[in-house]
Structure 1
Amino acid sequence: MAVILTGKDIHREVLANRIHIDDYDPERLEPNSYGFRLSREIISYDDDVIDSRTPIASTTTMMDDDGMVLLPGRFYLGGTMETMGSAHYAATLYACRSVSTLGVWIQFSAPLGHSGALFPWTLEIAVAAPVRVYPGMIIGKLAFWAMQGDTIGYAGRYTGSRSAVPSRLSLDAERAVTAR
């Protein structure tokens, strides 16, 4: 049975160094989650057709304090300002309701953070209408879940990330070619 941590539990576990949130602010605790902020980096893919077997050409835009207008029909990657994770808990990432009701989706296919994953999260961003976003705005929430059974720490292709990261799926194709 999965058990979600309360805001008070998250606070206690941060203080006990069992949950890592850098830069932690207790004011952003929610009843069952922690509010995180959008970083300055926004990544967009350059090609109209993306080949999952080759590295993806992308452009990184650094937002200034005036923000950036995101457009429908485009796919963006953003990052969290915070480095977050835990070796003791799994995490799930969600948009804030206030952001979702603007027509901004930040994580629609990969919300699970494995135990041991510790980095700024890459956010999948799409919008229904043109929306201006700003660096430092609270854009989502991270919830932590107690795990059951033996744990295996995350050691995936995004280990060591320091900001938003474009897809690394092409690494699987490279490994398949090397293995032949």
Structure 2
Amino acid sequence: MILTGPEIRAEVEAGRIHISDFDPERLEPNSYGFRLAEDVLWYDGDVIDCFEAPRARATTMGPDGMVLRPGRLYLGGTMEAMGSPHYAATLYACRSASTLGIWIQYSAPLGHSGAVFPWTLEMKVAQPVRVYAGMTIGKLAFWAMRGEPAAYRGKYSGSSSAVASRFSLERPRAGR
């Protein structure tokens, strides 16, 4: 069951949902609007090997923002650390960003219970688009769980900004 905006606020006030720099103005009927952080990563090289740590370049957006270009995956972060030990969460682009051709999440929209940190956004664009740190780019929805919650203890625990893939920390497949 998805939480309503007023229920999200009540759970933040009760300490059951964590949203750093919580602003009730960013509450929506069933989600919370989050902002794009200033740090952005992208991968170097022509080929990425899943079992080697990727080479990532980083930049910090200034007041003039940054132009995202088609054909490249950018990793941005949320300004807010968000999550809950009591709820699962899902991340979506806001309609205003998506109708500009900005995709912020391709394959990892689920936030496990206990995962509380700034989210890494998988950003691609349909055409060149200038983005700015602090702009509302997406929304986070919270979902009640059935059963006893288990806290997230994955390889992205403790993240404080956008994080490059840590797939290389997994055991390589047989024969490699």
TM-score class, shorter-chain normalisation, is: over 0.9
Provide structure 2 residue ranges, at least 5 long, that are not aligned to the other structure: none
TM-score by length of structure 1 reads: 0.95
Q: 1:7 aligns with which of 5, 14, 20?
A: 5
Q: How many residues align?
A: 174
Tell me how far 1:77 sits from its aligned partner.
0.1
Match of 2:43 in 1: 45
| C-alpha separation in 1, matches of 2:20 and 2:150 | 23
Match of 1:72 in 2: 70
Q: 1:171 aligns with which of 153, 156, 169?
A: 169
Match of 2:124 in 1: 126
User: What is the CA deviation profile of residues 105-132 of structure 1, one whole-angstrom value per residue up to 9, with x for unaligned ones?
Assistant: 0001100000000100000000000000
Tell me how far 1:48 sits from its aligned partner.
1.3
TM-score by length of structure 2 reads: 0.97
| C-alpha separation in 2, matches of 1:120 and 1:150 | 24
Tell me how far 1:159 sits from its aligned partner.
0.3
Question: What's the C-alpha RMSD, in Å, of the aligned pairs?
Answer: 1.1
Provide structure 1 residue ranges, at least 5 long, that are not aligned to the other structure: none
Tell me how far 1:173 sits from its aligned partner.
3.4
| C-alpha separation in 2, matches of 1:53 and 1:161 | 21
2:101 is the alignment partner of 1:103: yes
Match of 1:157 in 2: 155
Identity of counterpart residues, as a percentage?
Answer: 67
Secondary structure of 1:110 counterpart = coil
Runs of 4+ in 1 over 3 A off after TM superposition: none
